[in-house]
Amino acid sequence: MATSSCPENFLRKFRDRHSRKMRTLSAVQFMEIWKHYDIDGNGYIEGSELDSFLREFASSLNAPDVNPDSVPDSMLEQLKECFMEAYDDNRDGKIEIRELAQLLPMEENFLLLFRFDNPLDSSIDFMKTWRKYDTDNNGSIDSDELKSFLRDLLKEARKISEVTEGQLDEYTQSILTVFDTNNDGKLQLCEMSKLLPVKENVFCQKKFREMLGEADVCKNDIERVFKIYDRDNSGSIDGEELRGLLKDLLDLAKKSYSASDLYELQKIIMQACDMDKDGKICQKELTMILLALSRTKAAKELIL
């Protein structure tokens, strides 16, 4: 008589056969799990991908002959609600790699590299980091530059002495496996930003998105935006402050963008709005930029 077989549960092989506890995952194993469930490769586990992960995560605790589809929909919804409450830190309804890293047991040193407990304060800090590690100024972070970045993170955490050169190479390749979405062997600006997130894009706040959609921009709103980016209180936005501002605008406009996109946007904006040609943006010039974005249909389509 033929015996029925259950679909293979991908997560079961990462559990101890007797205790059913998840084993400590290496960098390669963690990335294997991530790639398995992030089917569309968009950097998130969401929708049916999330349902599949949760079903298999729950049923992997059971005996091998338990079908993952046997988890009732009502139980799945309860599990998802509890899971998202605990791990969806930014409340966007989907799971990022650093959020999943909180759930699965991983090598401590590799876990540190995700920095999910310590995101950067702003895109200004991000651009400073980008410039520091893009040592050849070619607009991308290659594997050697990424390795230097990871080494410095581990030094900062005082963990570098515990990591061999071989492990560091493994970490570098594992990071590239997930974050290098166009498979060119290096990280573009938008790819690096997923590895090194900021606390919040100012323009993602509802009040500022509404501001950009209005025909008239409130003076008080402009003053608040200006103070956020004029980090050194010099009375102007320039250098990494300006590039941080432009990166935040690009984050609204595109899912995928490069350093060349940022510098092209900088060129366009400076030509149009830097009235005194000093290479900086004062508050009046920022007003012009935000008014243009709010009033020009083409600009609205670009940014919003």
pLDDT at 216: 56
Summarised one tens digit per residue, pLDDT across range 250-276 is: 887 788 899 999 999 999 999 988 898
Query: Which residue, 84, 106, 128, sits at the end of a domain?
Result: 106
Task: Note whether 83 and 132 are same-domain residues.
Answer: no
Query: Which residue, 156, 178, 195, sits at the end of a domain?
Result: 195
Domain annotation covers residue 5: no
pLDDT at 210: 63
Contact 44, 95 (CB under 8 A): yes
CA distances from 209 to 204, 221, 251, 284 (A): 6, 11, 12, 20
pLDDT band for position 166 (cuts 50, 70, 90) = very high
pLDDT at 20: 87
203-207, long-range: CB within 8 Å, 24+ apart, which pairs?
Answer: 203/248, 203/249, 203/251, 203/252, 204/251, 204/252
Summarised one tens digit per residue, pLDDT across range 208-248 is: 666 655 555 667 778 888 999 999 999 999 999 999 999 99
Measured between alpha carbons, how far is 233 from 99 in angstroms, rounded to an integer?
Answer: 35
Residue 37: both structure tokens together: 């469930």
Residue whose pair of structure tokens reads 């790699």 in the numeric block: 97
Contact 195, 89 (CB under 8 A): no
Residue whose pair of structure tokens reads 């323009």 in the numeric block: 203
Lowest mean pLDDT among 132-141, 179-188, 235-244: 179-188
Summarised one tens digit per residue, pLDDT across range 285-303 is: 998 888 777 665 444 454 4
Task: Note whether 117 and 94 are same-domain residues.
Answer: no
Read off the DSSP letter of residue 21.
P
Closest CA to 23 of 32, 31, 14: 14
User: Across the chain, what does the average pLDDT equal?
Assistant: 85
Task: State which of 68-72, 73-77, 253-257, 269-273 shows the largest mean pLDDT.
Answer: 269-273
Domain annotation covers residue 75: yes
Q: How many domains does the chain have?
A: 3
The CB density around residue 138, as the number of other CB atoms within 10 Å, is: 11
Domain annotation covers residue 2: no
Task: Note whether 150 and 211 are same-domain residues.
Answer: no
Task: Return the CATH number at 117.
Answer: 1.10.238.10
pLDDT band for position 304 (cuts 50, 70, 90) = very low
Task: Note whether 93 and 125 are same-domain residues.
Answer: no
Residue 155: both structure tokens together: 């030094």
Read off the DSSP letter of residue 142.
E
Closest CA to 113 of 201, 33, 176: 176
Domain annotation covers residue 3: no
* Structural domain harbouring 160: 112-195
Closest CA to 140 of 181, 192, 88: 192
Task: Note whether 102 and 116 are same-domain residues.
Answer: no
pLDDT at 167: 93
Better-scored residue on pLDDT, 208 or 164: 164
Task: Note whether 160 and 206 are same-domain residues.
Answer: no
The answer to whether residue 281 scores a pLDDT higher than 80 is yes
Summarised one tens digit per residue, pLDDT across range 13-55 is: 999 988 889 999 999 999 999 999 999 888 889 999 999 999 9
pLDDT band for position 84 (cuts 50, 70, 90) = very high
Query: Which residue, 147, 162, 195, sits at the end of a domain?
Result: 195
pLDDT at 300: 47
